[in-house]
């Protein structure tokens, strides 16, 4: 069909003598808009567009203007509708890659009842050059006087510009569209150590902007300065480096602004300032603020521990007792306190292991520093490492800020690890390394920190048995067990019950602001004949309950009867407890602890947490009680009247 159209048009052209039009000196093509076909083109069009006439005649109009089809359609429709249209919105790229800025003029003609467009193309760059030549010709015609006047005018402008550039405190230099330096002001010379003569006419990126501060190459394609005139947008950078002539970097902030001439970007002007001193000051300030935050957090945590220690001291002013076991423990405290030896305190829950740890710390040379207590039984396994060694912000999900670990907090003081047998096996190796080297790393940080910590550990487990079962590292056990101290249970030292009971009664009445009842010898005898599976904690709870319920200054102790108390089936059959005696077997101790938990759950109807929960009665952490309930396989719902009573 295109061949038929060409023949038809050829006949029309001959009849209308359009060959003369196509031979016009202006680049002209004839387009069939419905088929997007180029029917004819003259030599001027072929030369401008970089294609032969045959190549143009075999092309489509849209193929010459790739990516501009919408604009081409609008232009063609306007020419067909109005009979004439022009646009500068259609650019074209020659086969050699040269981009042309063009103006298109289209006129509509009808040949053999078909609409065609004659499109005349003008090269805007050539037109601009002709305009410049025309202006120059005008100046020539106006005479030498006009040239001199213009020269004086431009020299005056240049002088004023040079004065402005010389007075500016910021460094200023210009580049053309090839990245070649066009001018450099004196401030830039002083900052960079290069003279203007050394920089002007040279590609400046490779001289002052070739590398990052770490030495990594800074490719020109990534340079914001070059992108300013490539993309035609202003680029601002807050912190990069320029390289001086002596090879030293200076930290700079700069703005690169494109320079336009008649809408075309011909280069950029760069204004920069040296911010090296400011950045050094900012970094020092940042380090100082981080240190202040670290010290503040440490002081806050130390204050919390000191407050806890004050409360503990109010409750336990001193180790109370007159038995041989207590006197022996006090002698051991006097021996080990002045040293930095690790101490392992063993004994049942409630026997005063923490009191001994505090006494060792207070009698040591570290007493002016904080005693940091960590209840290992209350820490979730996944948080042990963070609790001990701390972490940095972003080390894991939820780490929104740096955190000081317990070892770092106890630096210069004493770290008391209560329930040390609860530490996960996988963390025991890291703990051993810290004890050996006094060095550790926070989670997410490569920096190694050194500490000077005295360690005291406590446990109610048989660590030797834990080692045999593979649940505790033997090397860690020997590292902890440098100086062992055993806390004997209260049932083995009945002589300590009278002074303890009197001490508890006095403190409780002061705390509750109630009148102090009289503690008779008969009541003391009752207390001495009880087995105290909960040790001193249970004694304190019994005294407090009796003081609250005292009537007319008389105390009454409602102690459980082990032989007749009802209890749910035990997780494993155990022998019937023997009468209270001075020495109990391991199984008897286990049964005693089990019975004590059953009584507490019975009294609280299975409630563990809260001020009136079983954990409060037993004076242990709720998490510790929950762990022991799980160990004994006790279902606390058996003790509740309904499920709502369990918290």
pLDDT, tens digit, for every residue of 124-136? Answer: 888 888 888 777 7
* DSSP classification of residue 220: G
What would the mean pLDDT of 11-27 be, rounded to a whole number?
59
**How high is the pLDDT of residue 645?**
39
CA–CA separation, 312 vs 316, rounded Å? Answer: 6
pLDDT confidence of residue 568:
41
Answer yes or no: is pLDDT of 233 > 80. Answer: yes
Mean local confidence (pLDDT), 148-158? 55
Q: Residues 256, 268: contact at Cβ < 8 Å?
A: yes
User: Confidence class of residue 143 from pLDDT cuts 50, 70 and 90?
Assistant: low
In the chain, what are the domains?
A: 2-128 (3.30.450.20), 169-274 (3.30.450.20), 294-488 (3.40.50.300), 495-645 (no CATH)
Residues 6+ apart with CB under 8 A from 414: 357, 360, 361, 364, 366, 369, 370, 371, 372, 453, 454, 455, 456
- pTM of the predicted model as reported, rounded to 2 decimal places: 0.45
**pLDDT digits 0-9 by tens, 562-583:** 433 334 444 444 444 444 445 6
Picking from 4, 50, 65, 1, the residue whose alpha carbon sits closest to that of residue 76 is 65
What pLDDT does residue 69 have?
Answer: 86
19 pLDDT more than 80:
no
User: Per-residue pLDDT for 274 more than 60?
Assistant: yes
Averaged pLDDT, 214-224: 84
pLDDT, one tens digit per residue, over 311-340 is: 444 433 368 888 888 888 899 999 999 999
**Least reliable range by pLDDT among 257-271, 440-454, 469-483:** 257-271
Beta carbons within 8 Å of 276's beta carbon, 6+ residues apart: 250, 251
Mean pLDDT of the chain: 81
Bigger pLDDT: 199 or 230?
199
Mean pLDDT of 380-399: 84
CA nearest to 506, candidates 488, 519, 497, 523: 519
pLDDT for res 572: 40
**Cα 444 versus chain centre, distance:** 10
Band the pLDDT of 481: cuts 50, 70, 90.
very high
* DSSP secondary structure letter of residue 203: B
- Please identify which residue in the block is written with the tokens 């020109």: 220
pLDDT for 125 equals 85
The pLDDT assigned to 315 comes to: 39
Per-position DSSP letters for 550-585, written without gaps between them:
-BTTB-------TTT---PPPSS--PPPPPP-S---
Residue-wise pLDDT tens digits, 591-626: 888 888 888 888 888 888 776 788 888 888 878 888
pLDDT tens, residue by residue, 395-406: 788 777 788 888
Query: Which of 167-171, 508-512, 554-558 is modeled with the greatest confidence?
Result: 508-512
Tokens of 546: 């009796």
Query: How far is it, in rounded angstroms, from Cα 229 to Cα 260?
Result: 9
> Please, where are the H alpha helices in 276-344?
276-315, 324-336
pLDDT at 391 over 80: yes
pLDDT of 416 > 90? The answer is yes
CA distances from 586 to 208, 577, 590, 628 (A): 80, 12, 6, 16
pLDDT bin (cut points 50, 70, 90) of residue 105 is very high
Amino acid 575: pLDDT: 45
In this model, does residue 355 exceed pLDDT 80? yes
Residues 6+ apart with CB under 8 A from 512: 544, 547, 548
- Strands 114-123 and 171-176 turn out to be unpaired
In percent, how much of the chain has pLDDT > 70? 83
At residue 17, the pLDDT reads 44
Among 291-295, 448-452, 612-616, the range of highest mean pLDDT: 448-452
Asked if 240 and 251 touch (Cβ cutoff 8 Å), the reply is: yes
Two tokens at 607? 């409630």
Residue 18 banded pLDDT, cuts 50, 70, 90 = low
> Order of strands across the sheet with 181-184?
181-184, 171-176, 264-274, 249-261, 235-243
Structure tokens at 67: 């990516």
Long-range contacts of 164-170 (CB under 8 A, 24+ apart): 169/273, 170/271, 170/272, 170/273
Of residues 385, 299, 380, the one with CA closest to residue 623: 380
pLDDT at 230: 78
Diameter of the chain by CA atoms?
Answer: 142
Contacts of 36-44 spanning 24+ positions with Cβ under 8 A: 36/60, 36/61, 36/62, 37/2, 37/5, 37/61, 39/5, 39/6, 39/9, 39/116, 40/9, 40/13
């Amino acid at each position: 069909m295109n061949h038929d159209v060409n023949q038809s048009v050829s006949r029309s052209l001959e009849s209308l003598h359009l060959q003369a039009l196509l031979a016009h000196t202006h680049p002209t093509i004839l387009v069939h808009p419905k088929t997007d076909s180029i029917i004819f083109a003259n030599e001027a069009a072929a030369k401008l567009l970089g294609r032969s006439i045959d190549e143009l005649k075999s092309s489509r109009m849209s193929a010459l203007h790739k990516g501009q089809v919408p604009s081409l359609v609008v232009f063609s429709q306007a020419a067909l509708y109005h009979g004439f249209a022009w646009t500068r919105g259609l650019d074209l790229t020659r086969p050699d890659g040269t981009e042309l800025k063009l103006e298109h003029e289209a006129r509509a003609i009808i040949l053999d009842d078909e609409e065609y467009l004659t499109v005349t193309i003008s090269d805007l760059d050539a037109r601009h050059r002709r305009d410049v030549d025309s202006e120059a010709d005008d100046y020539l015609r106006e005479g030498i006087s006009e040239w001199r006047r213009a020269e004086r005018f431009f020299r005056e402008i240049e002088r004023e510009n040079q004065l402005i550039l010389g007075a500016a405190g910021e460094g200023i230099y210009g580049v053309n569209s090839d990245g070649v330096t066009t001018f450099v002001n004196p401030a830039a010379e002083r900052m960079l150590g290069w003279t203007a003569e050394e920089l002007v006419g040279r590609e400046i990126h490779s001289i002052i902007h070739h590398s990052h501060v770490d030495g990594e190459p800074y490719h020109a394609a990534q340079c914001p300065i070059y992108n300013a005139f490539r993309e035609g947008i202003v680029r601002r950078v807050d912190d990069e480096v320029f390289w001086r002539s002596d090879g030293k970097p200076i930290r700079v902030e700069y703005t690169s602004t494109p320079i336009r001439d008649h809408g075309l970007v011909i280069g950029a002007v760069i204004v920069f300032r040296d911010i090296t001193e400011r950045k050094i000051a900012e970094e020092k300030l940042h380090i100082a603020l981080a240190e202040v935050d670290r010290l503040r957090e440490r002081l806050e945590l130390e204050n919390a521990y000191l407050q806890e220690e004050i409360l503990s001291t109010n409750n336990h002013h001193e180790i109370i007792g007159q038995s041989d076991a207590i006197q022996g423990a006090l002698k051991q405290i006097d021996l080990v306190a002045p040293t930095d030896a690790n101490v392992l305190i063993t004994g049942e829950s409630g026997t005063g292991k923490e009191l001994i740890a505090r006494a060792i710390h207070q009698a040591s040379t570290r007493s002016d520093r904080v005693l940091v207590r960590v209840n290992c039984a209350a820490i979730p396994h996944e948080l042990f490492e963070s609790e001990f060694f701390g972490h940095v912000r972003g080390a894991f999900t939820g780490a929104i800020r740096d955190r000081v670990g317990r070892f770092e907090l106890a630096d210069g003081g004493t770290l008391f690890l209560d329930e040390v047998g609860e530490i996960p096996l996988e963390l025991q190796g890291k703990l051993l390394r810290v004890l050996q080297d006094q060095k550790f790393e926070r989670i997410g940080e490569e920096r190694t920190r050194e500490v000077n910590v005295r360690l005291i550990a406590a446990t109610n487990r048989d660590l030797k048995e834990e080692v045999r079962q593979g649940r505790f590292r033997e090397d860690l056990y020997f590292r902890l067990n440098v100086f062992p101290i055993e806390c004997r249970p209260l049932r083995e030292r009945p002589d300590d019950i009278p002074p303890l009971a009197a001490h508890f009664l006095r403190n409780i009445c002061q705390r509750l602001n109630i009148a102090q009842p009289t503690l008779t010898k008969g009541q003391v005898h009752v207390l001495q004949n009880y087995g105290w599976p909960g040790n001193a904690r249970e004694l304190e709870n019994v005294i407090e309950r009796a003081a609250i319920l005292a009537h007319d200054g008389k105390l009454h102790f409602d102690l459980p009867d082990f032989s007749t108390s009802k209890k749910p089936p035990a997780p494993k059959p155990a022998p019937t407890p023997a009468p209270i005696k001075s020495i109990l077997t391991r199984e008897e101790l286990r049964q005693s602890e089990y019975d004590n938990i059953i009584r507490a759950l019975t009294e609280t109807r299975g409630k563990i947490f809260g001020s009136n929960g079983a954990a409060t009665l037993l004076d242990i952490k709720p998490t510790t009680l929950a762990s022991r309930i799980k160990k004994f396989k006790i279902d606390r719902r058996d003790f509740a009247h309904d499920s709502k009573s369990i918290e």
